[in-house]
Chain A
């Protein structure tokens, strides 16, 4: 089976960075008290990051992505299950895709 050196390099680099966040947070916070400003900014990171990821894809998408996004959001606000919003959102996008 193929192992492309560029892909493996990217994977290993991302894996090391990921482990660094897992071990580094424990290591760092057990030694230093980070400044309040850093803590506040970190508390905003998850939300703003995912917003930044989805916005361009939705804007550059078409009706299929718009309807799918709305359906995913609607289901996600009504259930705690991680699977249903994905399934129904994708289903909605698929229906639009087949209709056009």
Chain B
């Protein structure tokens, strides 16, 4: 992963030109992001957040899946440990995404490196990986793409909040199904074929059981993900044993 060792250090910059290029490249993605931000704002409003709290959540977390998950299982007062652990689980994919930024980050220091990593979101990351593969050395690209997504993420959340305020849909209204639909739709690109059958069934069964035993918490998400991934590990080991 770390390719800085022994390689002459390429000059990695964070230039305004790179910021502009990143901002331009990411713009088409906004069409998909805005409805998602609206749903986050709508859910926050329905769970009794103030608009400032909703904007704060989007501005500081900048992680749609984790935010919707937290809002989906929201109770007041919030169980800090449980919600934080669930958010960490949802965001574990970032742990796998970060290392691919090494060709840029290894050559940056201080706020440039650690500040840029804040903007590691799915689409900005995917486009930055392509830039790195093309041999580009301007990390401003990630900053530009991330800033545009961040700005519309926060304003989109506030817009969704106002919609919720105006329409004031009662609990159980089908508008809230949108938050669930976001995740159901996400399952399709995540499905990698037969290898997912057993882990997904395990996850579903575990989550159903835990949510029945501990209603009103987010533990079913954590338990289901761990149980399902563990079955995936066992299956991989067993598959290797048979294949050998």
**Could you list which residues of chain A lie within 8 angstroms of chain B, going by C-beta atoms?**
1-4, 6-15, 17-31, 37, 40-60, 64-65, 68-69, 72-73, 75-77, 81-83, 85-87, 89-90, 93-94, 96-97
Contact A13 B229, CB 8 Å, known A22-B94, A26-B105: no
Instruction: Determine if A55 and B229 form an interchain contact, defined as CB atoms under 8 angstroms apart.
Output: no
For B, the interface residue count at a CB cutoff of 8 angstroms equals 93
In the complex, chain B residues whose CB is within 8 Å of the CB of A30: 1-2, 99, 102, 105-106
Instruction: Determine if B184 and A89 form an interchain contact, defined as CB atoms under 8 angstroms apart.
Output: yes
Instruction: Determine if A23 and B98 form an interchain contact, defined as CB atoms under 8 angstroms apart.
Output: yes
B244: Cβ under 8 A from any A Cβ: no
**Could you list which residues of chain B lie within 8 angstroms of chain A, going by C-beta atoms?**
1-2, 31-32, 35-36, 39, 49-53, 56-57, 60-63, 65-66, 69-70, 72, 76-78, 80, 83-85, 87-99, 101-102, 105-106, 114, 117-118, 120, 173-175, 177-178, 180-192, 196, 199-200, 202-204, 206-208, 211-212, 220-225, 227-230, 232-233, 236
What are 7 A-B pairs at a CB distance below 8 A? A2-B52, A18-B94, A47-B199, A49-B224, A51-B224, A64-B174, A73-B185
Instruction: Determine if A9 and B80 form an interchain contact, defined as CB atoms under 8 angstroms apart.
Output: yes
Instruction: Determine if A44 and B102 form an interchain contact, defined as CB atoms under 8 angstroms apart.
Output: no
Minimum CB–CB distance for B112 against chain A, Å: 13
Give the contacting residue for B98; candidates A17, A22, A41; CB below 8 A. Answer: A22
A54–B185 CA distance with the chains assembled, in angstroms = 11
Minimum CB–CB distance for B205 against chain A, Å: 8
Instruction: Determine if B66 and A18 form an interchain contact, defined as CB atoms under 8 angstroms apart.
Output: yes
A62–B127 CA distance with the chains assembled, in angstroms = 40
Most buried by B among A44, A83, A93: A44
In the complex, chain B residues whose CB is within 8 Å of the CB of A4: 50, 53
Contact A59 B208, CB 8 Å, known A47-B190, A68-B177: yes
A53–B189 CA distance with the chains assembled, in angstroms = 16
Minimum CB–CB distance for B103 against chain A, Å: 11
Instruction: Determine if B181 and A25 form an interchain contact, defined as CB atoms under 8 angstroms apart.
Output: no
Instruction: Determine if B80 and A52 form an interchain contact, defined as CB atoms under 8 angstroms apart.
Output: no
A20–B89 CA distance with the chains assembled, in angstroms = 12
Give the contacting residue for A69; candidates B66, B180, B207; CB below 8 A. Answer: B180
Instruction: Determine if A15 and B60 form an interchain contact, defined as CB atoms under 8 angstroms apart.
Output: yes
Give the contacting residue for A51; candidates B2, B32, B120, B187; CB below 8 A. Answer: B187
Contact A2 B95, CB 8 Å, known A17-B84, A40-B233: no
Contact A45 B225, CB 8 Å, known A22-B120, A26-B99, A82-B185: yes
Nearest 4 interchain pairs by C-beta: A52-B224, A48-B228, A25-B98, A26-B98
Beyond the given A3-B56, A89-B184, could you list 18 further A-B residue pairs with CB under 8 A, ordered by the A residue number? A14-B66, A17-B84, A19-B118, A22-B94, A26-B101, A26-B117, A30-B1, A30-B102, A45-B92, A46-B190, A51-B200, A52-B223, A56-B212, A59-B208, A64-B174, A76-B187, A85-B184, A86-B178
